Amino acid sequence: MEKKERRDKAPHVLVLPFPAQGHINPMLQFAKRVASKGLKVTLASLISITKLMYFGDGFVKVEPICDSGATDYKHFLDHGSQMLANFIEKHECDSKGPFSCVVYDSVIPWALDVAKRLGLYGAPFFTQSCAVDAIYYLVHQGQVTTGLVGTPQMVHGVPQLGISDLPSLVSAPDSYPFILESVLNQFSNLENADMVLVNSFEKLEGEVVSWLEGLLRVSTIGPAVPSIDNIINGDENHCSVNLWDPNSHTCMKWLDARPIGSVVYVAFGSLAELEAVQMEELARGLRGTNYYYLWVLRESEEKKLPSKFVKERIEKGLVVSWFPQLEVLAHKAVGCFVTHCAWNSILEALSLGVPMVAMPQWSDQPTNAKYMEEVWSVGLKARVDEKRVVRKEEVEQSIRAVMEGERAQEIKRNACK
């Protein structure tokens, strides 16, 4: 079917995220917003992921991209192009109408090639900030080199960045060469895209957005997080997908019993792995503040905690393996968020007005932390020592500064804007 013929039919948007939680959830929110405008929307992913998504009538239709096989990332990456083509062709006679547009995760640029070959519109969805996207674009264009030893000259609107403020894929390219190749390939065929969607918004990164708009067909559509009403009313599970079993009842009961603004929420996402020495320093720092804390920690990471830490702190702290983050951030008991500064976490905290203490680990997180502290002034970055460890004293001082120090009120006002 030619593109001209598709224009005469009701638009039907296919949304294709990369199958990882940090990529799925923002694209899911985008899909739900598009559907709320009356357009037909189908989200496709691996079978294991689509089984976790349940929506009532009027929401996004969720389907596995392949009925069998395709259960892991490697299969998706190796055979995704053919799987997508088969999926689109299978829906040519769909009662909801054939697809007219593919919105795909920017890290799988082959989706645009498939869309164009089959006569569909195509738009990449960038899940990271405009500033980070701009840095990767400059690297892709050869205007910034990886492994820099000095302070690079960046685009208009991006603050002067030291080597430690750059995405780790740029400052230390040999650490994750495959991932660096993936983020740079995002720009390989953008000249063929009908639009470029970014999960940010102009008020947050106005100057960088303007710079990108001069180069690409950029449209900011963020923040792609559930509506505040859904979060506060406890409907967050219907707004996102969790690839781990949350401990909702235990956490909410514990939070409900704590005073307003008295809890430090600690979470480093689904991928970060802290060294044992860093886990111990963080645990000791939390203990030293004497605040209540809720620490979301994967079971594989919990073994790095100091001996008896969990049992000793049971009155002041709660350590759980997973919990829907938005529900925690929306709770009145939470006073600050100790975070690795992944982009989704930044947007969620900003959307809910929660001040942050940054402990960035890798990827885009150092750049996000720089913005969080120096551009938006919604938190503080905890400083590392010569061994790249945030020590107990720094953890304690940073949390106290955000919760009760001289800058606390300013930070909280900025976070709530």
Return the active site residues.
23, 105
Distance in angstroms (rounded) separating the CA atoms of residues 328 and 62: 27
Structure tokens at 49: 């992921």
